[in-house]
Amino acid sequence: MSLPVTPIASGHEGNLRDQFNAYISRLKNGEMGSLPAIGATLVLTAIFASLSLYFLSKLNFANMFVQAAELTMLSAALVFVLVLGEIDLSAGVTAGVAMASFIVLVNGGVNWVLSLVVGFIVGLAIGWVIGFFVAKIGVPSFIVSLAFFLGFQGMQLVLLGEGGVYRIEVPEILAIMNNNMPDWAGYLMIAIMAVVSLAIALWDRSRRAAAGLVNKPVAMVWIKIATIAVLGGVAVLFLNDNRSQGPIPIEGVPIVVPFTIAILFIGTFVLDRSRFGRHLYAVGGNPEAARRAGIKVAKVRILAFMICAFLAVVSGVFHSSRIGNVDGSAGHTIVLSGVAAAVVGGVSLFGGRGRLVHAAIGAVVITMIDNGLGLLGLSAGINYLVEGGVLLLAATIDALARKRSGTSLARS
């Protein structure tokens, strides 16, 4: 007579109170995730709202969504290499070269869709080359990406000419950052987000049940869906209100928002629920153990740099759409802000830990600092000083949390 099978402990079982206690335990062990960034968002909102009446206005609220999109996409791109414990300093100029290729082809009479596809292929090729040098030859990613960072600044000038600035005449590209969706489309977007989140959650539960694992309480699923519906609905309601200061109405969710959310959803699904995502975290946590487990470490690294380059080109598209042109200096400075956003959001510089939502929250923090200090009329120098201080604080918290986590593991 066989004994009944006991479900394998997953660390996520129990009721809501057990979940809360487990979360507190993780915090005590140094696994803070994006909590510091969320706290910083609330503090910055309170500070800037008290110092500037314009900060929480409808127009500025929408502007911050648009301003954050470009940085969110670049910081999300960098997550894929930071999780490996690597870095890509050339992500910004990779986007610049890709967009320079795009505009040269468009001006040469090539269809804009085909030109954009070529731009993305250029980005993927650059990512593959960087990944090859890092994974196959063994050159440190800092050195490889720094070399490309310096070299591609010259490549942009070669493609566009000295001081070359080319105006984008493609309405579809310009609309991404400058136009808004109809009022009803915003609510449809929230409904799709809720349905997709629910479907993924139920799929996860069915997979865990089939594997004999204990599921989280179903109440957590409904809390997540309710949070998306309520916060998303309030944001859409706010954005659908006319925010124009002139006779022409401006209302609706910016078109860039659903693009950004869709890419974050897909990227999160890849990281959390695909074999590649599991391998990525495994390689970032312990490359030698991953290799012994049969994971193709070099292939994972190359793919990570290719994904990083691809998403960096998306960020470049957002940038060109916002300013309406392509110039030879695009992407020279934003990569450092992208790294800062990822680290501030809770992505570990030491590898093995970090999610796209962390990068997105960090991008919101950096954007709020830039936006708020700009409204107060402070100089760019103060902006850099504050961002540098926030980055140093975030990196210190990450190092201390990692040290505390290691101490806790040693004690156990």
Q: Walk me through the domains of the chain, giving residue ranges and CATH numbers.
A: 36-45+52-179+254-405 (1.10.3470)
Of 93, 109, 92, residue with least CA distance to 158: 93
Tell me the two tokens of residue 79: 């997550």
Average pLDDT over residues 3-19: 51
Report how far residue 308's alpha carbon sits from residue 305's, in angstroms, rounded to the nearest whole number: 5
Residue indicated by tokens 């993305």: 120
Stretch among 163-167, 222-226, 280-284 having the lowest mean pLDDT: 163-167
User: How far is CA 193 from each of CA 241, 255, 400, rounded to the nearest angstrom?
Assistant: 21, 15, 35
How far is the C-alpha of 188 from the C-alpha of 195, rounded, in Å?
Answer: 10
Gyration radius from the chain CA atoms: 22
Residue 360, amino acid: A
Cα gap 247→213, rounded to integer Å: 59
User: From CA 108, how far away is CA 356, in angstroms rounded?
Assistant: 37
Give the tokens for residue 302: 């190359």
The residues, any chain, with a CB within 8 Å of residue 45's CB and separated by 6 or more, are 55, 56, 368
> Which residue, among 69, 95, 75, 64, has the nearest Cα to 332 in the 3D structure?
95
Decide if pLDDT at 87 tops 80: yes
166 beta partners: 326
Q: Range with the lowest mean pLDDT among 191-200, 221-230, 286-295, 397-406?
A: 397-406
Mean pLDDT, residues 312-326 taken together:
94
pLDDT in tens, 14-31: 667 777 777 677 766 666
pTM exceeding the 0.85 threshold for the entire prediction: yes
Write out pLDDT tens, residues 130-150.
Answer: 999 999 999 999 999 999 999
DSSP summary character for residue 134: I
User: Residue 210's Cα: distance from chain center in Å?
Assistant: 32
Which parts of 300-406 are beta strand (E)?
A: 325-327
Rounded Cα–Cα distance for residues 13 and 157 (Å): 57
